[in-house]
Amino acid sequence: MPDAANTVRLNAALANPKEDIASLDALEQHLFAHRYAIDEIISFGPSIDPAKATEERGQAYSILERERQELLCSAETGALLNRLTDNEALLDDTRAAQVRVLQHDRASLVDVPSDEQAEFSRLTVEANDVWRRAKAANDWASFEPYVDRIVMAKRRFAGFKNPSADPYDVWLNEYERGTDCAVYDRFFARVKECVVPLLSDVRASKRKPSHAVVDGAFDEARQWRVADDLLKVEGVDPDALWLGRTEHPFTGGPGVGFVVIASHVYPENLLSNVFSMLHEGGHTLYEQNVNPAYRFTSLKGGTSSGMHEAQSRFFENYVGRSEAFATPLLEILKRHFPGQLGRMTPFQLYMAENCAEPCLIRCDADELTYPLHIMIRYEIEQLLFSGEATAKDIPGLWNERYKSYLGLDVPSDMLGCLQDTHWSDGDFGYFPTYALGSAFGAQLKNAMVDDGVDFDGACASADLTCIREWLRTRIWVWGRAKDAGELMEAACGEPFSASYYTDYLTLKFSSIYGL
Amino acid sequence: MPDAANTVRLNAALANPKEDIASLDALEQHLFAHRYAIDEIISFGPSIDPAKATEERGQAYSILERERQELLCSAETGALLNRLTDNEALLDDTRAAQVRVLQHDRASLVDVPSDEQAEFSRLTVEANDVWRRAKAANDWASFEPYVDRIVMAKRRFAGFKNPSADPYDVWLNEYERGTDCAVYDRFFARVKECVVPLLSDVRASKRKPSHAVVDGAFDEARQWRVADDLLKVEGVDPDALWLGRTEHPFTGGPGVGFVVIASHVYPENLLSNVFSMLHEGGHTLYEQNVNPAYRFTSLKGGTSSGMHEAQSRFFENYVGRSEAFATPLLEILKRHFPGQLGRMTPFQLYMAENCAEPCLIRCDADELTYPLHIMIRYEIEQLLFSGEATAKDIPGLWNERYKSYLGLDVPSDMLGCLQDTHWSDGDFGYFPTYALGSAFGAQLKNAMVDDGVDFDGACASADLTCIREWLRTRIWVWGRAKDAGELMEAACGEPFSASYYTDYLTLKFSSIYGL
């Protein structure tokens, strides 16, 4: 006699698969349109929207998010996805992957009340606007209550999603499936074990690479032309890109054919522009090179925050800060600043890019100290979620840690805990993926070299085709159809391991500093 | 015994008004979010979207439009709106106006099959993209099939909307309620009666104002600074505006706090930038000054195409091309081009702005010949809708009419029938509102002067506050809550009459040309 579960299976088998597939396609169309609109709204919000757009943008965003949630979480959609899951054998690979991703997306939203979700969307739009003004005015106090409200909401939402798990673990897993505090604690312990003694040796070393060769004031208009040239070398498709301006650089992807990069240039910091652009260009390559067949489906876009960051930091660091790439990079820089840079050598540029010198701004950090910036944010987020700290404690916690880990005095919150946009957007649990992505990149680089890619040759010639092709076929085309873990294992022939990252850092900085 | 209609009324009276009002508010929220997303998508489409965004943009746009249509046209919404109409006495003025506008919007869509509407949205996004490339390549043939497809679709849609009316009349009424071919035939006959003999006298006159003083090449970056200054004088709120670049200037309004102007500058045509900016600034003032209480409702935005164009052409022509405004305008121009324009007098500028010289490009036309450009488009549209012509005939019809009405040989379609974006967007029946809007403006100007507004004084001092306040309180704040006809009658104390326009043209050009 069939039990209840078997009855459900029986009903599922009786459904009309053709009709269900048509319903799946229709569902994906609606979800696509909402995602496109939301991505466009949030990409342009902090880059081109005028100041007074905030309230209407927040309202539109929250209603569209709510419609998306209602569509995905309706009982009808749930039943449809369950029938399709039960009949997976009847689906082609793409649709089977769509169903898996939709089930995952639905599960992460279905228990969150849509009123609260909509309220939260509105809150983050407002908080982002307040943060932008707070940063400009060095005014933590005005932003502080928003951080508390956002953390409180994120804790509540975590409870809806998974009442038995630690709230911060829920969000770590949300941004990077399979991770939690235990995973990151182990990962950061490995990183710390490597970076802290290495940084101490670096500081004690008598060899002191200098960035004096890139000091000076560099015309902004010409810096934007440098940005165009870098994106070209990187292989970004200019016909599928809009490049705009904002305080905190980011990449958004309304479509495979429509990626938004918003960035900034500072006259006194030429390399900040160079590495921001290579970084955002890496995100862009991922978005632009997803299988075109996924364009109108939930498989569009990157599979996880860590994997996205692996691509951006791959082009920023493994390519951009390599000795081989210094030659073509210098050519580009000299093209636009012949007077100021005419006498520089590629080796001088390489050294200037890789001074391991603690600095206040995460985005401007060298490769070695970068993960320490992330650890500081990770530790503060843990304290906020455990209730051991609230927003008013953040400046103190921040400044203390910058002193103890990086040896720096933080002169103002503008250069301290107000520097990043993430918390205003509600992205708690996101920062750790930045360090993880860097570590993915080291392993990916190792694997592509093992596969015969002439990495240094490609960098030296500024023809990055073979590097792009390796990443495109193994990572980018898959969109969200495979998890980061699956992709890493398939691309590298083994699961993720942090040792490639720590080996890379040790080797690179030992050589630069003659350790 | 109650008949069927009475039963409906009876049921309506039994409904729960409080719940219905909450449903109305929820409906408006959803419609707002879709409108916001759609307006943002179509405003940025032709200005900043990269080339490869077209297909995804078209898809997203068409799905969002379809959702909007389905929401507005559902039986449930119909029943709700009917109950609210029947209980209008229970509604405040704003909600009563919302219900009227929603009933109107619903009626114009309810009989159009949503599949066809969605298909049409996709078609116009594609057609606009093809048009942009066709114009650049002077290639009418590539655009031609789209025009036929769009006209065919518009004829079909007109049949759904009002099967007993002439299809072109349906669209004229859509853009400007209360108009049809009979109305416009009469209007254009009055205009022709005035303009044709006046133009003939102008041509025969020995007095020849010259635009030689503004000939030359004007740096583009400085022209953009002129644009900023003009928008400031006009009174546009810069915190609720994004100013971008495109081939065909336009204004879009995702929000009261978020208006998009996209425009262009040409080095060889300084005045084109001046008048484009004043024109789009007029549209912007209308959008920004709608009653803030209407922001999230269907009352947001301008009431009709003609009334919108009345505002843009008011600032372009009645203010911008006035003798009084020549003084502050010249000050702005000299600020940015002191070397090139240092010796010009305001009277020379006034003459240069008002040379009544037939030209090929509608947007660059002087006030006198402008309505002839519109008449040509109106006549061609009539022929297309009556089936007397198809798209392949357009270049011939166009060039013939430019020869006979304006005495010009059209050297290429790029400077002829490919110049305007409207047909690619599906906006047949829209052009006539441009001439009507110009005529509204003359009557509005007359009425504000009668009300004691020191029009010339305001123009001469570049402090346009009193002009803006008059228009704001009588036209702008009302959004869509009142029809163009109602607004004109309330503002002017009498219904619309074309005579103010023909009087204005006669007086102005007789004086300039010493007739």
What confidence tier does A269 reach under pLDDT thresholds 50, 70, 90? very high
Question: Closest to B41 (Cβ–Cβ): which among A40, A52, A237?
Answer: A40
Task: Give the 3-state secondary structure of residue B255.
Answer: strand
Q: How many C-beta neighbours within 10 Å does residue A231 have?
A: 21
- Put simply, the answer to whether A36 touches B238 (Cβ < 8 Å) is no
What confidence tier does A121 reach under pLDDT thresholds 50, 70, 90? confident
- DSSP states of B262-312 as a string? EE--BTTBHHHHHHHHHHHHHHHHHHHTS-GGGTTSTT-S-S-HHHHHHHH
Q: Does a structural domain hold residue A125?
A: no
Nearest-neighbour CA in chain B from A336: distance (Å): 20
Asked whether residue B106 falls in the same domain as residue B187, the answer is: no
Whole-number Cα distances in Å, A489 to A56, A483, B193, B492: 45, 10, 80, 75
**Which pLDDT tens digit goes with each residue over B305-333?**
999 999 999 999 999 999 999 999 999 99
pLDDT at B10: 44
Q: Does a structural domain hold residue B163?
A: no
Task: Give the 3-state secondary structure of residue A40.
Answer: helix
Provide the 8-state DSSP code for A422: G
Asked whether residue A298 falls in the same domain as residue A185, the answer is: yes
pLDDT at A10 over 50: no
Nearest-neighbour CA in chain A from B371: distance (Å): 35
Asked whether residue A98 falls in the same domain as residue A187, the answer is: no
Q: Does a structural domain hold residue A144?
A: no
Q: Does a structural domain hold residue B128?
A: no
The token pair at A46 is 């902090």
Asked whether residue A86 falls in the same domain as residue A203, the answer is: no
**Which pLDDT tens digit goes with each residue over A435-445?**
999 999 999 99
- Which segments of A359-393 does DSSP mark as H helices, in order? 370-386
pLDDT at B13: 52
The token pair at B351 is 């003459």
Asked whether residue B369 falls in the same domain as residue B279, the answer is: yes
Number of domains forming the structure of chain A: 2
Asked whether residue A104 falls in the same domain as residue A212, the answer is: no
Instruction: Give the residue carrying structure tokens 């965004």.
Output: B53
Q: Contact at 8 Å (CB) between A39 and A65?
A: no
Asked whether residue A103 falls in the same domain as residue A192, the answer is: no
Asked whether residue B294 falls in the same domain as residue B375, the answer is: yes
Task: Give the 3-state secondary structure of residue B254.
Answer: strand
- DSSP states of A226-279 as a string? HHHHHHHHHT--GGGEEEEE-SS-EEEEEETTEEEEEE--BTTBHHHHHHHHHH
**Strand B258-263 and strand A241-245: pairing?**
unpaired
Kindly state the average pLDDT of the residues A5-32. 76
Q: Contact at 8 Å (CB) between A320 and A287?
A: no
Give the separation between CA B228 and CA B232, rounded to whole angstroms. Answer: 6
Asked whether residue B496 falls in the same domain as residue B411, the answer is: yes
Q: Does a structural domain hold residue A382?
A: yes
Q: Does a structural domain hold residue A161?
A: no
Residues of B in contact with A57 (CB under 8 A): 36, 255, 258
**Which pLDDT tens digit goes with each residue over B165-213?**
999 999 999 999 889 999 999 999 999 999 999 999 999 999 999 999 9
**Which pLDDT tens digit goes with each residue over A90-106?**
999 999 999 999 999 99
pLDDT at A136 over 60: yes
Question: Which of B110, B141, B166 is the last residue before a domain boundary?
Answer: B110
Question: Which of A77, A110, A143 is the last residue before a domain boundary?
Answer: A110
- Put simply, the answer to whether B50 touches A242 (Cβ < 8 Å) is yes
pLDDT at A1: 39
- Which segments of A74-139 does DSSP mark as H helices, in order? 75-86, 93-109, 114-137
What confidence tier does A6 reach under pLDDT thresholds 50, 70, 90? very low
Asked whether residue A233 falls in the same domain as residue A95, the answer is: no
Question: Which of A83, A110, A137 is the last residue before a domain boundary?
Answer: A110
Q: Does a structural domain hold residue B452?
A: yes
Kindly state the average pLDDT of the residues B379-397. 98
Nearest-neighbour CA in chain B from A102: distance (Å): 19
Q: Does a structural domain hold residue A292?
A: yes
**Which pLDDT tens digit goes with each residue over A341-389?**
989 999 999 999 999 999 999 988 999 999 999 999 999 999 999 999 9
- Put simply, the answer to whether B44 touches A41 (Cβ < 8 Å) is no
Identify the CATH number of the domain in which residue A454 sits: 1.10.1370.30
A55 to chain B: nearest residue by CA? B257
Whole-number Cα distances in Å, B371 to A147, B137, B431, B435: 58, 28, 10, 6
pLDDT at A27: 97
**Phi, psi angles (nearest 5°) of residue B24:** -60, -45
Choose the weakest-confidence range: A66-70, B165-169, B446-450.
A66-70
Whole-number Cα distances in Å, A380 to A130, A399, A412: 21, 11, 18
pTM: 0.90
- Distance of alpha carbon B298 from the chain centroid: 18
Please tell me if residue B294 touches chain A, with a CB cutoff of 8 Å. no
Asked whether residue B345 falls in the same domain as residue B221, the answer is: yes
**Which pLDDT tens digit goes with each residue over A454-499?**
999 999 999 999 999 999 999 999 999 999 999 999 999 999 999 9
**Structural domain that includes position A431:** 181-513
**Phi, psi angles (nearest 5°) of residue B417:** -75, 0
Task: State the complex-level ipTM.
Answer: 0.88
What confidence tier does B47 reach under pLDDT thresholds 50, 70, 90? confident
Bridge partners of B241?
B259
Amino acid at site B427: D
Give the separation between CA A59 and CA A63, rounded to whole angstroms. Answer: 6
Average pLDDT, chain A: 94
